[in-house]
Every structure is written in structure tokens, then in C-alpha cells.
């Protein structure tokens, strides 16, 4: 009996039992909590940030961004451009393979473009590719010169092409032919991670591509888990079942910062928030009024109090991380008295009725670049009031607000912009060129139509050398500051929360970490 009892005790003791903390999940896997599921894995089809984030680790572009910036560097190819800027020649890297083992060559590149641009292509993407077709509208032909060389002809000199190509996916033609439309569920690219599985609504699993041309990634797997609830994402992160979480609530950021096991990773956002004047509504066609408003706004407390400190005060449209950023020669400090003086001059000239109240449009919906737009609007209102500009707020949900300002209903408006491609053209041409100042569909909601600026912007699109472009954009930025087209407010800051044991987490300006660089520290 005693022996039997002892034997039983032995068996019980040997059973490891459930729930032991020491047998946690696979340390080679990086688990990322995302707020919503992906839509598709074909990077050429998707526009939502979750899908882009996942798909970008599967696909490479011809060129890529230097980690943490939007500077373009050679990716799958190096490039040359003809003197007239209309022909781009890409020389493909040797020995690059897709995840299915096929070799990347010029035909694969041409295939990737043609399925987007050529309606007669058997795998034409159709409506799903509208976004990319708009970006690449100037591309006329894409041609394979030899197995390692691709030529892209554009209708007009267009320097921002490179920025576009940094996120345009080169796909494996073999895989597209095999899967057809279902390629979006079986993506095959040449990126640092290869697709493994997707359980819709639950998770996407990628595994390290050991044959990656730029050295294999740090961790064996990435698991993108869908965790809809923001608070749950934080709980998972804290318990260690998740390594990285995006879209943490602003209120929770102090918790992450205070917690010794967690770390907050910052990156300057590729965005801008601003107060725009409507040039079509006098007196905002008067530069003195616009300058006075600039002098009236103290940006520092706004950034600290209305952006939870997760932003930097802006002095222009371009974020300081952009290679074309130029600190304008003319700047406006916080100077109420100087502002008042300018207003007085305008009143004296009869340009401004001191009793007039202007409509200041602002959205009520939090945006990525501005979590408390209404509060910002009130701070602005208070500032404007102090130099003698009376305003009333028109607060609307984002969609209505957007429609209103695109139609030019506002005298002034609070608005923002998130860059798509990282090229300065994406900010300056889109937001300040007269081409984009058509009421009803305006992106240039200041309705600023300066011919000189237009010339400079077009010239910069056609110029190919980056220093030449930088020079042109510096001139544009000086002119914009001189004309005080906006009161630039802030550039947001992107945050990703992660476990403290992760190393080398570099957040790119698009907000997603550069996954292949992430390592896990061993001694934690």
C-alpha cells in the first residue's frame, strides 16, 4: 500500500501540470497586437495601415526607405535617370529570390507593373488597383531590357516616382499565375518575411525568409494578432503575451512610460496639422492679417497640453525628418504686440473690419495627427482673439468638416495631412499648388494660387538630382513662410509600445516598426 502510494505521489510529481509561467510562448516569435484584421495581403490592393504594415514585410520594392526615414536608397535595384528625366533605368540586384524559390528578374518587375497598369494583362487588378494607378499615372511604359535591367518611361519628368516605388510591391509572377485572384491570400514576394498563414479575425503568421538578400531577419516569426480592444492590447503587452502593440490610447501612454517592463518607441510622424486661411475670403488675402495670426499663436503650450506632448511644434509644412525640410528664413515668434500692430495697419487700410467675426472650422473627430482637435481650436481661438481677430467655431465630424473645407466654406480651418510616400512633393505640391485649389475637391484648402510657387513645384517634380530638388523646395518653403499661408501647428509623433526586452525597434515615418531589424535581448 505504501509503495503504491509512493508511486502515485511520484507520478503526480512528474506531471508538469498546466499554467507554468516558465513555459511561455516561443521566444523566436514576435507577437504584434493590431487593432483590426488585415483586408488583403496583396500590397498592390490595400490602403489600410494594418494590411500595409503586414504586407510591407512580405514584399520589397525596387527601392526602399532608409530605416526610420523617408530617404530613398537602393532596394531590389539601383537606378539611373536620363537627362530629360523621362526614362528611369533600374539595374536589378543579382541573386534575389522570391519566397517560392523563383528568381527575381526584369520580367518579374514588368509583370508586377503590368498587372496594375495594363488592362489587357491576364492578371489585371482592375478597380482594386485604383490607388496605385493614380500614383503611377505618369508611367507610360515599363520594359525589360535584359534580365537585370528594367526601363520605366514617364510622360513627364517626375522625381517623386522613387518615393512611390519604395512601397510598390514586386511580386512573384509564378505565384500570381498559380493563384490568380487568390494571390492576395497567398502572397509571394521577396521581403524579409514570408507568408505562413492567415486565420481571418485572429492572426497572420509570417516566417523569416532565410534567403533574404539583405541578411536574414532577427526573429524567426512574426505573429500579427488582432486585438480589437485598446486596453486589452495593453494588458497583453504587460503580461508578455504580446511583444509590440500599436494604437495605444493616448491616456495609457504614461502607464507604458512608467512601467519598467515596457518601452515606448517614438518616431516623428510624417504628418502636419495646421490652421489654413482661405485666400478667397478677404481679409485673408492680406498677408498682414495672416502674419498677425501667426504671431498670435503660442504653439508650445498647445503642443504640450492638447497633444499630450506627443508632437513637436511645426514651423512649416514639411516634417523636420524630410530630406527637403528647410527652416524658413522668415519665422514668426509668439508676439502679441507685433500681431496687434499688423492688425491695426490692416484696419487702418480698411482691409479688415475690427468687429467682424470669422468662421473657424474644426473637426470634432480625433485624427492621427491631432487627438484633441476641438481643444486645439479653442486654444487657437483664444490666441487669435488676443490680436483682435474674432472667430466663431464651426465644429463638425470629420467627414462633413472635410467636405466643407474642400468646398472653401471656411474663413479659417484646422486641418492636417499625412504623407503617403515620403516625398516632399506629396506635401508641398498637394497642399500648396494651384492645381489642387479647385473648390469641391481642393487639397490646397488655403486656395493659395501663387504662380511662382507653382513653377517651382513643377520644376522640382521634373528635376532629378536630389540636391537640386532640395534647393527648389527650400525656395518654396521660404515663399510659403513669407506669404504666411498657414499657421503650421504641429508634427505628430508616432508611438509603438513594446516589451522592454526588444532591441533595435526603429519606427518608420509610416508608423510601423522595421520588423526585420528587431532583436530580442537574451538576458531578460
Partner 1 sequence: MSDGRKPPIRPTPLPPTPGGATGFELDVQTSPSRKMRMLTTRLPRILHAPTPELRLRLRTKLVVAMIIAALVPVAIVAALASGVILSNLEEGLRDDADRQLTVALNLLVRSVERLGDETVQMSESPELVVAIEGGQRAAGSGGTVYPAPPEIVRRTLDAWLGNEAAHVPSSRLQVLDPRGAIMFDRVIGGGSERFKDAGVLADDPAVAAGETWSRTVRLVAVGDHVIVRAVAPIVDANLALRGVLVLSTPLDGELADSIKGALSADVLIGGTSGDLAVTFRSPLGRRGEPVELAPADRDAALRGQRIHEELDTSTGRYTVTATRLLDNGEKPVGIVGVGVDRGPLAATKRLAIRSLVLGGGGALLFALVLALVWSRRLGAPIQRLHRGAIAVSRGDLDHRIEMPGTDELTDLATAFNQMTSTLKDNQARLAARMREIVALHDAGRAVSSVIDLDQVSRKIVDAVARTFDVQLVALWIGGSEARPGDGDDLRPSAARARRADVSSALATDDSLAAATTLTPFAKRAAAARAPVRLERAADDPTDGAAAVTAGSPGPLVALPLDRKARVVGVLAVSRAVKDGAVREFTDAEMNLLATFADQAGAAVENAVLYQEVRGASEELERKVRLRTAELTAINSELGRALADLRETQAQLVLSERMAGLGMLVAGVAHEINSPTAAIRGSIDGVAAAVQRISKHGADMVSRAPSPEVADRVARLLDAMVPPLAERPMVTGLVARKAGREMATALDKHGLDRELANDLADLGATADDIARLAAALGPATHLAPSAVGALTDRVYLARTASTVRTAVSQIQRIVGALKSYSHLDQQATRSDADLHEGLETTLALLHHALRDIVVERRFGTLPHVPVFVDELNQVWTNLIQNAQQALAGRAARGSIAIETTATGDGWVSVKVIDDGPGVPADVLPRIFEPFFTTKPKGEGSGLGLGIARRIVAKHGGELRCESVPGRTCFEVRLPISTASSIAEGDAS
Quick check: 350 binds partner 1 (CB under 8 A)? no
- CA distances 90 to 78, 144, 300, 341, Å, are 6, 10, 45, 56
**Min dist. Cβ of residue 35 to partner 1 (A):** 22
Stretch that binds partner 1, among 148-156, 255-263, 365-373, 440-448 (CB under 8 A): 255-263
Candidate ranges 5-13, 215-223, 419-427, 457-465; the one touching partner 1 (CB under 8 A): 5-13
- Identified binder of partner 1 from the candidate list 178, 304, 327, 407, rule CB under 8 A: 304
Cβ 388 to partner 1, closest distance in Å? Answer: 10
Q: Is 348 in the site for partner 1 (CB under 8 A)?
A: no
Our finding on whether 355 is near partner 1 (CB under 8 A) is: no
309 binds partner 1 (CB under 8 A): yes
- Interaction residues for partner 1, span 407-436 (CB under 8 A): none
Closest CA to 268 of 339, 330, 321: 321
CB 308 within 8 A of CB 250: yes
Q: Which range touches partner 1 (CB under 8 A), out of 177-185, 215-223, 302-310, 504-512?
A: 302-310
Query: Phi then psi for 221, rounded to 5 degrees?
Result: -140, 155
Asked if residues 466 and 70 have their Cβ atoms less than 8 Å apart, the reply is no
Pair 453, 467: CB distance under 8 Å: no
Per-residue H/E/C for 31-52:
EEEECCCCCCCCCCCCCCHHHH
Contact (CB, 8 A) for 496 and 505: yes
In angstroms, give the least distance from the CB of 80 to partner 1.
Answer: 45
Nearer to partner 1, 155 or 305 (CB): 305
Only segment of 2-10, 89-97, 100-108, 110-118 that touches partner 1 (CB under 8 A) = 2-10
Output the CA–CA distances (angstroms, integers) from residue 261 to 238, 353, 511, 514, in the order listed. Answer: 7, 58, 22, 21
- Strand segments, DSSP code E, in 82-215 are 87-92, 139-146, 149-154, 193-199, 203-208
Residue 10 makes contact with partner 1 by CB under 8 A: yes
* Least distance from partner 1 to the Cβ atom of residue 343, Å: 14
CB of 512 to partner 1, least distance (A): 21
The binder of partner 1 chosen from 138, 220, 238, 315 (CB under 8 A): 238
Comparison of 238 and 471: residue with beta carbon closer to partner 1? 238
As to burial, measured by CB atoms within 10 angstroms (0-12 exposed, 13-18 middle, 19+ buried), residue 465 is exposed
27 binding partner 1? (CB under 8 A)? no
* Length of the chain as a residue count: 524
- Nearest by Cα to 413 from 388, 453, 450, 447: 447
Could you tell me the smallest distance in angstroms from the CB atom of residue 39 to partner 1?
34
Judged by CB under 8 A, does residue 357 bind partner 1?
Answer: no
411: nearest Cα among 335, 488, 356: 356
298 is a site residue for partner 1 (CB under 8 A) = yes
What does the DSSP 8-state code read for residue 183?
G
Which residues is 491 bridged to in the sheet?
Answer: 312
Contact indicator for 112, 170 with CB cutoff of 8 Å: yes
**Is 257 a residue that touches partner 1 (CB under 8 A)?**
yes
User: Is residue 4 close enough to count as binding partner 1 by CB under 8 A?
Assistant: no
Binding residues (CB under 8 A) for partner 1: these are: 2-3, 5-7, 9-10, 13-14, 17, 20-22, 238-239, 254-255, 257-261, 263-264, 298, 300-302, 304-305, 308-309, 379, 382-383, 385-386, 500, 523-524
Amino acid at each position: 500500500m505504501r509503495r503504491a502510494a509512493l508511486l502515485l505521489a511520484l507520478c503526480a510529481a512528474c506531471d508538469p501540470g498546466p499554467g507554468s509561467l516558465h513555459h511561455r510562448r516561443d521566444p523566436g516569435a514576435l507577437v504584434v497586437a493590431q487593432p483590426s484584421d488585415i483586408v488583403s495581403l496583396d500590397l498592390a490592393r490595400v490602403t489600410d495601415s494594418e494590411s500595409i504594415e503586414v504586407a510591407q514585410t512580405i514584399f520589397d520594392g525596387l527601392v526602399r526607405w532608409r530605416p526610420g526615414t523617408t530617404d530613398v536608397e537602393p532596394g531590389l535595384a539601383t537606378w539611373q535617370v536620363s537627362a530629360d528625366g523621362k526614362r528611369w533605368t533600374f539595374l536589378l540586384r543579382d541573386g534575389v529570390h522570391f519566397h517560392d524559390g523563383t528568381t527575381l528578374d526584369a520580367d518579374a518587375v514588368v509583370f508586377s507593373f503590368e498587372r496594375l497598369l495594363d488592362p489587357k494583362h491576364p492578371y489585371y487588378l482592375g478597380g482594386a488597383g485604383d490607388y496605385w494607378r493614380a500614383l503611377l499615372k505618369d508611367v507610360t511604359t515599363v520594359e525589360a531590357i535584359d534580365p537585370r535591367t528594367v526601363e520605366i518611361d514617364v510622360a513627364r519628368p517626375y522625381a517623386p516616382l522613387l518615393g512611390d516605388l519604395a512601397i510598390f510591391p514586386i511580386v512573384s509572377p509564378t505565384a500570381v499565375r498559380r493563384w490568380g485572384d487568390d494571390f492576395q491570400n497567398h502572397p509571394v514576394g521577396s521581403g524579409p518575411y514570408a507568408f505562413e498563414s492567415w486565420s481571418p479575425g485572429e492572426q497572420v503568421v509570417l516566417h523569416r525568409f532565410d534567403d533574404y538578400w539583405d541578411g536574414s531577419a532577427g526573429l524567426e516569426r512574426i505573429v500579427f494578432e488582432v486585438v480589437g480592444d485598446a486596453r486589452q492590447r495593453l494588458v497583453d503587452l504587460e503580461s508578455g503575451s504580446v511583444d509590440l502593440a500599436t494604437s495605444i490610447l493616448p491616456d495609457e501612454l504614461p502607464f507604458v512610460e512608467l512601467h519598467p517592463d515596457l518601452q515606448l518607441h517614438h518616431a516623428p510622424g510624417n504628418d502636419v496639422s495646421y490652421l489654413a486661411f482661405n485666400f478667397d475670403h478677404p481679409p485673408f488675402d492680406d498677408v498682414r492679417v495672416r502674419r498677425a495670426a501667426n504671431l498670435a499663436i503660442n504653439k508650445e503650450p498647445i503642443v504640450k497640453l492638447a497633444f499630450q506632448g506627443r508632437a513637436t511644434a511645426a514651423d512649416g509644412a514639411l516634417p523636420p525628418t524630410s530630406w527637403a525640410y528647410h527652416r524658413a528664413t522668415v519665422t514668426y515668434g509668439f508676439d502679441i504686440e507685433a500681431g496687434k500692430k499688423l492688425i491695426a495697419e490692416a484696419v487702418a487700410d480698411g482691409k479688415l473690419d475690427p468687429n467682424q467675426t470669422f468662421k473657424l472650422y474644426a473637426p470634432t473627430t480625433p485624427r492621427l495627427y491631432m487627438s484633441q482637435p476641438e481643444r486645439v481650436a479653442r486654444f487657437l481661438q483664444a490666441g487669435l482673439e488676443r490680436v483682435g481677430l474674432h472667430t466663431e467655431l464651426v465644429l463638425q465630424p470629420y467627414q462633413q468638416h472635410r467636405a466643407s473645407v474642400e468646398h472653401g466654406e471656411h474663413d479659417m480651418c484646422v486641418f492636417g495631412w499625412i504623407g503617403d510616400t515620403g516625398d516632399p512633393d506629396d506635401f508641398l505640391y498637394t497642399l500648396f499648388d494651384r492645381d489642387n485649389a479647385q473648390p469641391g475637391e481642393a487639397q490646397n484648402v488655403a486656395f493659395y494660387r501663387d504662380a511662382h510657387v507653382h513653377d517651382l513645384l513643377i520644376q522640382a517634380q521634373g528635376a532629378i538630382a536630389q540636391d537640386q530638388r532640395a534647393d527648389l523646395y527650400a525656395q518654396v518653403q521660404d515663399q510659403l513662410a513669407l506669404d504666411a499661408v498657414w499657421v503650421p501647428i504641429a508634427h505628430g509623433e508616432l508611438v509603438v509600445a513594446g516589451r522592454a526586452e526588444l532591441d533595435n525597434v526603429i519606427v518608420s515615418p509610416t508608423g510601423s516598426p522595421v520588423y526585420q531589424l528587431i532583436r530580442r535581448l537574451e538576458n531578460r
